[in-house]
Amino acid sequence: MKFILQLAMKNLSRYKRRTIITSVAIAFGLMMFIIVDSILRGAQVESVRNLRWYETASLRIYDSNYWEEHYFLPLESSIKQPDKVMDIVKAEGLTATERTTFAADMILYSKDFGEDGNMSVKITAIDPSTDFDVYRYPDTLIDGRFLEPGENDGIVIGSWFAEDIGAKVGYWVTFITQGNGGFYEAFDMQIVGIVNCPNPNVNRTLIMMDKSAADSYLGMDGAVTSIDIVLDEKANLNQSAADLQAKLDQAGLSNLQVLTWRDLAQDYIAMVEAKQGGSSMILFLVFIIAAVGVSNTMLMAMYERMRELGMMRAMGMRDRDILFSFLFEAGGIGMIGATVGIALGCLVNIYLVNSGINVGFMFRDMDIGFRIQSIMRGAWSLPTILKAFFSGILLSMVVALFPIRRALKLDIPTCLHHQ
């Protein structure tokens, strides 16, 4: 076996140009695989963080009927006893806040916006005294101020939304909505603050008002549509949700449902799984490139050394030993390519992890699903690197097997007389 390995290594050095060309193809493919996987993995990590920090929190309590029709934001399916639920949540040592989300038509006036207009919007009514304990908005304010508890006529909006409609702090708008019970209500609100957070979905759509004002305008009688809960980053989501659900059931609140952020962000998770499939497709294309390159290299090597192969067989070298020598030669090509590819991929990934790529020009006007505003960073993944390394070697050896076996089927005289 030692002789076979030495023979394979000598053959690699004998045909340097061919070895380098084939190794470069493998290296480039594996480098691209590591880079793409790193970018997608980093985007996923940051998106999950921004989802939980600005959009869904960790857990959310709904009325069961509300979740079934949550796309329509039904006010009639609200949490009727939020104080009782909050007491249970606090008894579990959790931090939570009450919210009411509803749909409305927003009317713009030419006096402030230059022309009259209207659009459909989603409004989130928050409790300013507890909301910032769950969501991380305090550092996102870029103009004006945040809502004050009990404020009846103030709203805070997202920065991209403000740009799109030409809004500034101090402008007035009118909302027309359907309250709890079916009645219609119109109320005037003034923009008191503009926020710019790392979550582009929030920047595009956010409108926040005070919960007590919404309670009055919508006739909620103290009810809210959700109670949002924040957990530690390392907490077991499913276990925490199950424990809290059991406490609610014991308190006679079985009509309420505890959902995790994964339940709330099913569309995002489906998008991530689709993009992971794209990463796997890149690896498959890498395999195709490597397969073609290594297969051609070994096929050329076999035909160029056909007489040499016949001579070795005539001198008593077994077909199995010849097979192993060429397989090890192919594996050496794969190892060189994999090593170089991983080294280059890691060098690029150092920059991606520390600095990232500014894609704000693209995400501003196009929603690709990730909750990233501008900088897309990479993330390290040792399993991906190891998979790339061993895949490059194994694939090179597998695809080399076919031309080698084909050559070994020829008899010794045919090999010796090969031109």
Q: What is the pLDDT, as a whole number, of residue 75?
A: 93
- In angstroms, the CA 31 to CA 218 distance is 57
- Strand pairing report for 117-126 and 207-210: parallel
Q: What is the pLDDT, as a whole number, of residue 157?
A: 96
- Those residues with Cβ within 8 angstroms of residue 172's Cβ, 6 or more apart along the chain or in another chain: 109, 112, 188, 189, 190, 191
- In angstroms, the CA 19 to CA 279 distance is 27
- In angstroms, the CA 99 to CA 52 distance is 15
Q: What is the pLDDT, as a whole number, of residue 274?
A: 67
- In angstroms, the CA 6 to CA 339 distance is 20
- In angstroms, the CA 283 to CA 26 distance is 11
Residue the block writes with tokens 């022309």: 115
SS (H, E, C) 285-306: HHHHHHHHHHHHHHHHHHHHCH
CB atoms within 10 A of CB 395: 23
Q: What is the pLDDT, as a whole number, of residue 324?
A: 83
Residue 56 one-letter amino acid? T
CB atoms within 10 A of CB 311: 14
Any idea what DSSP says for residue 206?
-
- In angstroms, the CA 369 to CA 252 distance is 38
Nearest to 221 by CA among 81, 107, 316, 351: 81
Contact yes or no for 86/227 (Cβ under 8 A): yes
pLDDT tens digits, residue range 112-166? 898 899 999 999 999 999 999 999 998 899 999 999 998 999 999 999 999 999 9
Q: Which residues of 150-164 are buried (b: 16+ CB within 10 A; e: fewer)?
A: ebeebbbbbbbbbee
Contact yes or no for 156/208 (Cβ under 8 A): yes
Q: What is the pLDDT, as a whole number, of residue 278?
A: 62
- DSSP for 341-389, written as a single string: HHHHHHHHHHHHHHT-EE-HHHHTT---S---SSEE-----HHHHHHHH
- Those residues with Cβ within 8 angstroms of residue 42's Cβ, 6 or more apart along the chain or in another chain: 352, 353, 356, 376, 377, 378, 379
Enclosing H/E stretch for 234: none
Contact yes or no for 338/392 (Cβ under 8 A): yes
Residue 303 one-letter amino acid? Y
Contact yes or no for 254/248 (Cβ under 8 A): yes
The full set of domain ranges for the chain reads: 2-51+268-416, 59-230
Residue 383 one-letter amino acid? P
The vertex-83 CA angle with 77 and 88, nearest 5°, equals: 100
Low-confidence ranges of the chain (pLDDT < 50): none
- How much of the chain is in helix, strand and coil states, percent to nearest 5? 55, 20, 25
Q: What is the pLDDT, as a whole number, of residue 391?
A: 82
Q: What is the pLDDT, as a whole number, of residue 215?
A: 95
What are phi and psi for residue 92, nearest 5 degrees? -85, 0
Nearest to 88 by CA among 238, 229, 277: 229
Contact yes or no for 152/84 (Cβ under 8 A): no
- In angstroms, the CA 125 to CA 100 distance is 5
Q: State pTM to two decimals.
A: 0.78
